[in-house]
């Protein structure tokens, strides 16, 4: 599979012309609009809800509250969904955070529903709440469902610290961050008798179907979930939030389709966020730079709805060779909206802390940061002794350093300038596990030579349509413009969650296998067909190109369409499931990379600008060059955003988020991002899967944040360990 001719997105025209239908775009007759009524206190119970004024608004169809909501089996709480957040479905009067959905106004227009929602008067029985992380962090407790992340120990950490020549101990913190996909969450629910169609921009439509089935007591066979285009997710659309079941409920009660589309402000409370973390890292080392032990004790906040562990300490387990290692995770439960997975959960926050600490140790030992990492390079996975299926991190360091010009760096902080600006160069290691899971796909070739590829996976903006078409094209030898890909429909073969960089490695493998079986079926037809130029040919001699099967040295060729027609076949269709087998068990599977950043700091204005970023990654084979590089670059931009911009703020007195829009929740713009130089080694990892491809969606964000933070220290001599690095954290500490 060659990347010599990069493929434009096959869905690009549909997106730029507006014909691609996202979650809120489906026009249905008699469509009603729902707007959530949100709590204004952080904790308590609803004493009463006065809906009289709201019901008088012209066009209002219903005001749904806990007093008249559809009663759900077991009030919507089920053991089989224990890993899903316990979201608001109006089954009780409990308020456990400010901004929770406590009711729904439904009307025949969006404006009427919005106005009606604003008129509902709520009286609360207010209870004391806890929303201040700093006051609760020292009281954090071990998680109830933390599993392996709760506590990890390898070797004798205490003994290593006692005998170490060099000690480093620092605390690093990251704030609450929000997913903020370009497309806000939305749901359209449409009942037709006992059958439900749900239009849902989701990262896991199969799980959506399961949740709705369980919550409403409806057979999965009677539920169809559609989400052909998803405008970004980053983990936030991997679960269901209150608007989805409320749309289903309202549509059932009113016997007409109902749409609930969240506005940007509602995204900050009705959905979820990455939790705040505080990481205390301790490193024991010899003066030579050899690491002896790493300990990372993590405190993070959780919500009453779900105890999710952002396992920031996990990256400390395996990234470097040590004789001992220890991590722990404790949670401080706060009365806030749910916390949930966000791009590279654990690795994004954990790599910031660990890679900042490694940079500090390099300065303390007067060792080049790259040399320190190479000295402690882990040839095998130190957590289990397994070899890696492939690890080319040394090559990533070397190529990235060369492209960046690292050899020209002067190591002393504040020693590099561009006129009046301070320049800083920093680097860090990027890493993310390579996952596979069970997923299915169907490939059908028609007698006109066209191909249909279907799977209940998702196009979340990452290029799924394109990469699956490329995989099928390569396996069949059929031009990509003859291939149609369909995703986002639970009537298609089931697929896993589109997160954790799973899609290409998992669904792509299923498409590869199904297309291969289709090809072999057609080859068998040809070699057993006396009318075929390939009659009695050895299957191993036959190759594919431009919609034909051929034997090049004999100038014998036959098209797929001709073979099917002669055999009286309208199509050949194969559905396969791909899942990891025992052949991968002997190996540890991870992707690695190197991130380098240059910043310019104004010593008078204390502003930081990222002027250059270089990233080189080992992700196995990169099947889709344009979309893959785009994913890695987008992740790196998010890492820069993590370092310098993003921070969700809360007024702990009221438990109320205070920067709930894109004007005050700061994100980088084009002017904030300098030159991006992203590349991959592009060496297939066939031990991981038949494609040799690992996922790329998460990788880019890891390491990028730390590289920027380390560059800021190199420029200023100021180590900021509490993200984001803002003007106030540099002012007063810098020397002009």
Q: Would you name the residues annotated as active-site residues?
A: 698
CB 214 within 8 Å of CB 208: no
> What is the C-alpha separation between 568 and 549, in angstroms, rounded?
18
- Residue 72 DSSP class: P
Q: Is 734 exposed, middle or buried (0-12, 13-18, 19+ CB in 10 A)?
A: middle
> Which residues touch 248 (CB under 8 Å, ≥6 apart)?
187, 189, 196, 198, 212, 216
Q: Is 530 exposed, middle or buried (0-12, 13-18, 19+ CB in 10 A)?
A: exposed
Query: Hunting for tokens 């390079």 — which residue is that?
Result: 377
Of the candidates 614, 601, 611, which has an alpha carbon nearest to the alpha carbon of residue 726? 601
CB 358 within 8 Å of CB 719: no
Pairing verdict, β 324-333 and 291-302: parallel
Helices (H), 498-624: 503-527, 560-566
Pairing verdict, β 439-446 and 608-618: unpaired
Beta bridge partners of 64: 104
Instruction: For residue 603, say if its preceding peptide bond is cis, omega within 30 degrees of 0.
Output: no
Pairing verdict, β 673-680 and 608-618: parallel
Angle of helix 704-716 relative to helix 625-644, nearest 10 degrees? 50
**Which secondary-structure segment (H or E) carries 467?**
helix 464-476
**Backbone φ and ψ of 666, nearest 5°:** -80, 135
| C-alpha distance from residue 517 to each of 154, 312, 344, 439, 513 (Å) | 45, 42, 34, 16, 6
- Residue 717 DSSP class: S
End-to-end CA distance of the chain: 54
| C-alpha distance from residue 103 to each of 10, 49, 117, 150 (Å) | 41, 9, 8, 36
Query: DSSP letters of 389-422?
Result: S---HHHHHHHHHHHHTGGG---STT-EEETTEE
Pairing verdict, β 324-333 and 177-178: unpaired
Grouping H, G, I as helix, E, B as strand and the rest as coil, residue 629 is helix
Beta bridge partners of 557: 550
**Which secondary-structure segment (H or E) carries 634?**
helix 625-644
> What is the C-alpha separation between 453 and 468, in angstroms, rounded?
8
């Amino acid at each position: 599979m060659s990347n010599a001719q990069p493929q434009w997105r096959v869905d690009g025209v549909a997106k730029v012309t507006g014909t691609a239908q996202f979650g809120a775009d489906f026009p249905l007759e008699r469509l009603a609009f729902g707007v959530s009524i949100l709590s204004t206190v952080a904790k308590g119970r609803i004493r009463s809800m006065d809906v009289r004024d709201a019901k008088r608004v012209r066009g209002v169809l219903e005001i749904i509250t806990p007093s008249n909501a559809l009663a759900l089996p077991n009030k919507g709480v089920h053991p089989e969904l224990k890993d899903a957040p316990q979201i608001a479905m109006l089954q009780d009067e409990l308020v456990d955070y400010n901004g929770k959905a406590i009711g729904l106004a439904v009307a025949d227009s969006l404006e009427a529903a919005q106005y009606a929602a604003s008129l509902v008067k709520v009286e609360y029985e207010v209870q004391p709440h806890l929303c201040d992380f700093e006051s609760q962090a020292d009281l954090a407790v071990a998680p109830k469902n933390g599993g392996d992340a709760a506590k990890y120990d390898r070797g004798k950490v205490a003994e290593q610290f006692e005998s170490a020549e060099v000690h480093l101990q620092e605390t690093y913190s990251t704030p609450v961050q929000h997913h903020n996909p370009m497309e806000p969450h939305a749901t359209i629910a449409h009942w037709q008798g006992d059958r439900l169609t749900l239009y849902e921009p989701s990262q896991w439509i199969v799980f959506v179907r399961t949740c709705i089935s369980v919550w409403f007591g409806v057979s999965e066979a009677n539920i169809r979930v559609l989400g052909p285009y998803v405008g970004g997710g980053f983990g936030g659309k991997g679960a269901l939030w209150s608007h989805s079941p409320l749309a289903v409920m309202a549509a059932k009660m009113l016997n007409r389709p109902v749409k609930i589309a969240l506005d940007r402000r509602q995204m900050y409370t009705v959905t979820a966020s990455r939790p705040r973390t505080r990481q205390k890292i301790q490193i024991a080392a010899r003066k030579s730079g050899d690491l002896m032990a790493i300990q990372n004790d993590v405190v993070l906040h959780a919500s009453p709805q779900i105890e999710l562990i952002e396992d920031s300490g996990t990256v400390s387990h395996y990234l470097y060779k040590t004789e001992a290692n220890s991590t722990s995770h404790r949670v401080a439960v706060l009365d806030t909206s749910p916390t949930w997975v966000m791009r590279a959960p654990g690795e994004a926050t954990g790599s910031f802390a660990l890679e900042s600490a490694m940079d500090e140790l390099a300065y303390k030992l007067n060792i080049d940061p790259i040399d320190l990492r190479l000295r402690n390079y882990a040839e095998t996975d130190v957590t289990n002794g397994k070899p890696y299926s492939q690890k080319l991190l040394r090559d990533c360091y070397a190529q990235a350093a060369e492209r960046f010009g690292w050899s020209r760096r002067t190591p002393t902080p504040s020693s590099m300038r561009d006129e009046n600006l301070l320049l800083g160069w920093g680097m860090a290691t990027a890493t993310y596990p390579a996952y596979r899971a069970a997923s299915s796909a169907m490939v059908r070739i028609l007698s006109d030579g066209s191909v249909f590829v279907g799977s209940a996976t998702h196009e979340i903006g990452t290029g799924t349509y394109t990469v699956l078409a490329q995989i099928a094209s390569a396996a069949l030898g059929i031009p990509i413009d003859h291939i149609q890909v369909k995703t986002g429909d639970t009537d298609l073969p089931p697929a896993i969650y589109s997160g954790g960089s799973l899609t290409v490695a998992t669904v792509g493998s299923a498409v590869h296998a199904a297309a291969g079986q289709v090809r072999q079926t057609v080859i068998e037809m040809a070699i057993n067909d006396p009318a075929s130029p390939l009659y009695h040919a050895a299957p191993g001699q036959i190759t594919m190109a431009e919609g034909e099967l051929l034997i090049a040295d004999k100038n014998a060729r036959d098209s797929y369409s001709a073979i099917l027609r002669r055999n009286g076949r309208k199509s050949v269709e194969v559905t396969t499931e791909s899942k990891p087998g025992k052949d991968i068990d002997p190996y540890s599977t991870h992707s690695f990379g190197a991130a380098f950043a240059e910043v310019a700091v104004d010593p008078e204005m204390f502003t930081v600008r990222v002027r250059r970023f270089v990233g080189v990654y080992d992700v196995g084979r990169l099947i889709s060059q344009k979309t893959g590089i785009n994913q890695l670059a987008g992740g790196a931009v998010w890492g820069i955003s993590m370092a310098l911009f993003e921070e969700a703020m809360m007024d702990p007195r009221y438990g109320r988020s205070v920067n709930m829009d894109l004007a005050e929740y700061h994100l980088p713009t084009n002017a904030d991002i300098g030159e991006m130089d992203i590349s991959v080694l592009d060496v297939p990892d066939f031990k991981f899967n038949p494609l040799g491809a690992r996922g790329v969606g998460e990788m880019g964000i890891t390491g990028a944040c730390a590289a920027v933070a380390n560059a800021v220290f190199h420029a200023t001599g100021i180590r900021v360990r509490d993200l984001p690095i803002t003007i106030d954290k540099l002012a007063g500490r810098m020397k002009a």
